[in-house]
Amino acid sequence: MSQNLIDLNLSAEALDAVDAALTQLEAQLTPLIGLNVDQRRQLTKMGEKSESFCRQAVDVMQQNPNILPRNFDLEAMRRDLAAFDALRPRLVRLTRLFERANDTHMALGSDLMSNALEGYAFLKISGKGEGLERLRKTLSARFNRARPEAPPSAPATS
């Protein structure tokens, strides 16, 4: 029985609307940055437990700005906290949407692969004598594995 996890048909209008929305998102989120692997590795990270510490630190520093050196940018720290709080719910929504799109993409690929394998099996059985041998061989290339060449055998010694 054929697999059909999802039957999706996105109209050209729907795809155009999605593309326009993505373009708008990209335009509004141009200040977002990208980090390379080394930058990510070297960053001091704020986990869930550290978030409370950071919030308390901002509060303490706001109440006692005289303890900070003149070059400490408390306002930048406050802006970072505000941006962090503003970005979080959007990130949750984007992550959920990304996961659904990724799962849908995976399901579509699975449907395609399962049905292609099923059709190929029918072609191998029912396609004999139907003038489909060349097409079957073309499809069988997916399953051909390059086998390592056998090392030359040593001459027999007596």
Confidence at residue 67, expressed as pLDDT on a 0 to 100 scale? 96
Average pLDDT of the chain to the nearest whole number: 91
Confidence at residue 96, expressed as pLDDT on a 0 to 100 scale? 98
Confidence at residue 154, expressed as pLDDT on a 0 to 100 scale? 61
Q: What is the pTM of this model?
A: 0.75
65-85 burial, b if ≥16 CB within 10 A, otherwise e?
eeeeeeeeeeeebeeeeeeee
pLDDT, tens digit, 9 for 90 and up, residues 21-60? 999 999 999 999 999 999 999 999 999 889 999 999 999 9
Q: How far is CA 127 from the centre of its chain?
A: 39
pLDDT, tens digit, 9 for 90 and up, residues 10-24? 999 999 999 999 999
* CA separation for the pair 23, 60 (Å, rounded): 41
Mean pLDDT of 89-102: 97
Structure tokens at 116: 């292609």
Q: What is the largest CA-CA distance in the chain?
A: 95
Q: Where is average pLDDT lowest: 10-14, 84-88, 99-103, 133-137?
A: 133-137
